[in-house]
A and B are shown apart, each in its own frame.
Chain A
Amino acid sequence: MGRDAPSEQFESAQQQHRARLYRSNAIILRRRDTGEADRILTLLTEAHGKTRVVAKGVRRPGSRMAGHLEPFSVVQILVARTRGLDIVSQAELRSAFSAMRQSERAVSTAGYFGELLDLLLPEEQVVDGVFPLATAALELLDQGYDPRSVAFVFEMGLLRCLGYRPRVDRCIVCDAVLQPVSNAFSVEGGLVCQGCALARHALIPLSVNAQKLLRLVDRGEIEPVLRLRVGAAVWSELAVVVHTYIARIAGRELSAPRVIHELRLD
């Protein structure tokens, strides 16, 4: 009598323990040293969205997990939920994107993606489409596509997933169909026709070619955007527009584009 009670208790404790563990694919967005040899990682997980976890002892060369937890790799992780920061208990590398790591431009663009995801995503909440988008973008960088085109596709995809898809077919003020002339972009969320632009401030002019790229990516025509030969001037036009728009949404300036500029990779 009562002999089974301890083992029952044990079992329910075990079940609780299991419920406090989860396994997921994840991308390491950023990391910061903490404690003697630990790191706090910001992850984009497939199962729970953006989350922060601690990886214990990973700065020691003996750590089995260290090589699996480099930023911008895709890993499968086992995470233990705790009352404080969750703990990574296992990590297995899925894609290291080693070719990407050999290119300064590609790897710093991956850093920019990390900043965007950390800045714009809500904590512990899955935003549909973001994990596959981020994985695909890293794969494109790894395959050697022009990081400027990959960044543009990624930015526009992320804005769409988050509900900030800019309007690029009609003027956001008067709803007129846009003419193939130099129109302007407004951080209110889209293009403004020449007539309406005259009466408004803080607009960014956009060439016809830059608008074409906006429309292509808006229609989901990714291949042409990646394959077209686009001049540096058009990429910088689009970078100004997208960075200003994102800074407006995030409420602060982005740092990675400033660093990439500082690296003088052109």
Chain B
Amino acid sequence: MRPSKLTAEPVSRLVDELGRLPGIGPKSASRLTYYLLRASREQALALAEAILELKERVFLCSTCFNITETDPCALCLDPTRDRSIICVVEEPLDALALERTGEYRGLYHVLHGAISPVDGIGPDKLRIRELLERVERERPQEVILATNPNIEGDATAMYIARQLIPRGITTSRPASGLPVGGDLEYADEITLGRALVGRRAL
């Protein structure tokens, strides 16, 4: 798997690093590395700087845990958003997908994952405690549980609903129509918008 000794050390190092990214196998990692080797110095530097900036300037909003450059994030500060609804999603990309529908004017809460006992992921590894504290603090009228329409997303929604219902908070789940097993992030805007509007109380 490791490039042979014929390869310069910086080359094999980049191949190794790229190969650790999701969706990139050893072959793609080599292809990208040799592409960058031939690319202009400016292009390579721009990529390196973009990665550095990502790590230095982007962090998580301390209210909604979405990615942001400011804390609280622009969306949490936006006075035109409806503060009586919080929509819970698994990943920042899911919030982005819901924003694109144009159907939602409330706030978000990003969990950064979903409950999965088989993978050892329980509520403590997600931003669920922070959600419960936030709900106590902000007392929204409704919490929409827009986790993925799959086994982990359903389990996460059931768990959160079980915590919120005794606290007197209305919880709902986007309507069916979203195909089982698919990722929210890939759903088309019309289907996603419709699922959001037709959400059902839990």
Contacts and interface: CB of A to CB of B under 8 A. Distances in A.
A33 B154 CA distance: 18
Interface string A214-229: 0000000000000000
B117 A69 contact: no
Interface string A129-158: 000000000000000000000000000000
Contacts of B151: 70-72, 101, 107
What are the 5 tightest A-B residue pairs by CB atom distance, in nearest-first order? A255-B120, A111-B117, A66-B181, A259-B122, A35-B23
Contacts, number: 91
28 contacts: A30-B118, A36-B23, A60-B186, A61-B188, A66-B180, A67-B180, A67-B181, A72-B151, A101-B151, A104-B162, A107-B151, A107-B155, A108-B117, A108-B155, A114-B118, A115-B120, A255-B119, A255-B120, A256-B117, A258-B122, A259-B115, A259-B116, A259-B117, A259-B120, A260-B117, A262-B122, A263-B117, A263-B159
A185 interface: no
A28 to B, nearest CB: 9
Contacts of A61: 178-179, 182-183, 186-188, 191
Interface string B152-163: 001100110010
A70 B180 contact: yes
A59 B183 contact: yes
A115 B181 CA distance: 20
B33 to A, nearest CB: 18
Contacts of B123: 262-263
Contacts of B179: 61, 63, 66-67
B154 A101 contact: yes
Interface string B169-184: 0000000001111110
Nearest to B158: A104
Nearest to B152: A71
Interface residues of A, number: 36
Interface of A: 29-30, 33-38, 58-61, 63, 66-72, 101, 104, 107-108, 111-112, 114-115, 118, 255-256, 258-260, 262-263
A255 B180 contact: no
B115 A263 contact: yes
A37 B122 contact: no
Contacts of A259: 115-117, 120-122
A72 B181 CA distance: 13
